[in-house]
Amino acid sequence: MRGGWYIYGHSDSQGTFVVAALEPLEAMQLVATQMTTGRQETQDYYVASKWQNLPQRRIEKTLVDNNNKVLAASERTAALRERRTRELWYLNDVALTIHTFGWRGGPRGNNPPLGLAPGHFSFGFAKVIRDEFTGHLRFDLVHRQVYAHNKEGIISGAIRWHAYVGSLKRGWMYTVPISEVMLRMPEFTVPYKLGDRTFDPLKTIEQELAFTCARYRTGPGNGASVVTPATSCVKDSCQSLFAAINRLDAEVLNDPAIRRWMQDNSQSFDAQRFQRLDTLLKDVLDRMLIPLGYVPKGWRGDREYLAAHRQGGLLGNTIEALRSWKTMLPRRAEMELAQVMARHGATFWDIKGAMLGGEVPGIVPIAPGTLL
């Protein structure tokens, strides 16, 4: 990569520094290589164009300026991208991140059936920090990986970007198409203070993901976390989002004290922002998580079936998964959540790339696909 690399590792017993992971400097820098503008273009980007042309051996960073007017290509200069980035992203901002990857085909790869790569999905949290070496703003990204037991030895839980994507032992960026979507929306990503109550929607999501990851690490007492159509990285990440929304609804949105404060302070900035959050969360439920109004069995109660839902066999699990079909495949879940958030005014920072580090002969990156 032209911008250089961060190198992570440790010194061995002889004092030799052993490299364990790499991270391209430009991957997390807030310097966009392109931009989209306007609501319709944002929708078109996530529904159709994002995965059409995979950037190989380079990183493409798109400033998704969802709330701006549509601009001609000649107007989207580097100077404009820089200015709009400064206006939309600030030091210490925290974003919900949607992580997806595809797969690797070709003679040395493993071509998926019918050419459809299900890929992988996870949530994460990205904070805007000042780089200690360059002084420029960059993202510090930690994934919350809901990950079944696997031969690569990836453990479900909180994993920094370089340790997961850039690991020289198991990193995906060297062969597999990867994407990070940083989602910024003040109603969703900025903490609230309503009277004497404070709460942070992102912290609630993080706590639910931590619970899910812990269940995946232990295999819910059954010894193994397995993937089925009804239990997977994408299904159970989305289940954590569903659980977080239910918690916010029970503990905050329907709290009598908060409702009274809202009535007494209905014109305040936080009260109006809170009302928009309430509308947004209902839309996430109705349009993405439970589009048919059916709550999957594994999403009810204490979530006892996390990572080990074996009841009903393959057919039963498939039927159960189809009832919340928008969370069945990673690319579909990314697409649906981005669309809902965009309709409510979110902006995004979108990163994607494949074969970061150089060409690997015999490997062909395959974008994640979707059937529905």
pLDDT for 137-161, tens place per residue?
999 999 999 998 888 889 999 999 9
What's the pLDDT band for 113 if we cut at 50, 70, 90?
Answer: confident
Judge whether residue 316 has pLDDT over 70.
no
- The mean-pLDDT minimum among 135-139, 236-240, 323-327 falls in 323-327
Better pLDDT: 324 or 5: 5
- Confidence check: pLDDT of 304 > 60: no
* Range name among 95-104, 152-161, 170-179, 224-233 with the lowest pLDDT average: 224-233
Q: For 252, how many CA atoms within 13 A lie in the half-sphere containing its CB? A: 23
DSSP assignment string, 221-272: GTT----BTTBSHHHHHHHHHHHHHHHHIIIIIT-HHHHHHHHHTTTSHHHH
Give the Cα separation of 24 and 6 in Å (integer): 6
Question: So what's the pLDDT on residue 195?
Answer: 87
Rounded distance, CA 358 to CA 360, Å?
Answer: 6
From residue 365, give the alpha-carbon distance in Å to each of 104, 143, 362. Answer: 5, 22, 10
Q: What percent of the chain has pLDDT over 70?
A: 93
Query: Looking at the whole model, is its pTM more than 0.95?
Result: no
Question: Of the segments 144-148, 264-268, 333-337, which one has the largest average pLDDT value?
Answer: 333-337
3-state helix vs strand vs coil in the chain, percent to 5: 40, 25, 35
Separation CA 240–CA 117 (nearest Å): 24
Chain centroid to Cα 324, Å, comes to 19
Q: Which helix (H) or strand (E) holds 144?
A: strand 137-145
pLDDT at 50 over 80: yes
DSSP state of 82: H
Q: Sign (positive/negative) of CA torsion 69, 75, 81, 84?
A: negative
- CB count within 10 Å of CB 215 equals 20
pLDDT of residue 111: 82
Interior angle at CA 338, CA 210 and CA 120, nearest 5: 55
The pLDDT assigned to 324 comes to 80
230 vs 271, more confident: 271
Q: Are 232 and 333 in contact (CB under 8 A)?
A: no
Across the range 82-110, mean pLDDT stands at: 96
In this prediction, residue 20 has a pLDDT band, given cuts at 50, 70 and 90, of very high
Kindly report which listed range (14-23, 203-212, 261-270) carries the lowest average pLDDT score.
261-270
Q: Of 71, 61, 69, whose CA–CA distance to 32 is shortest?
A: 61
Mean pLDDT of 277-286: 95
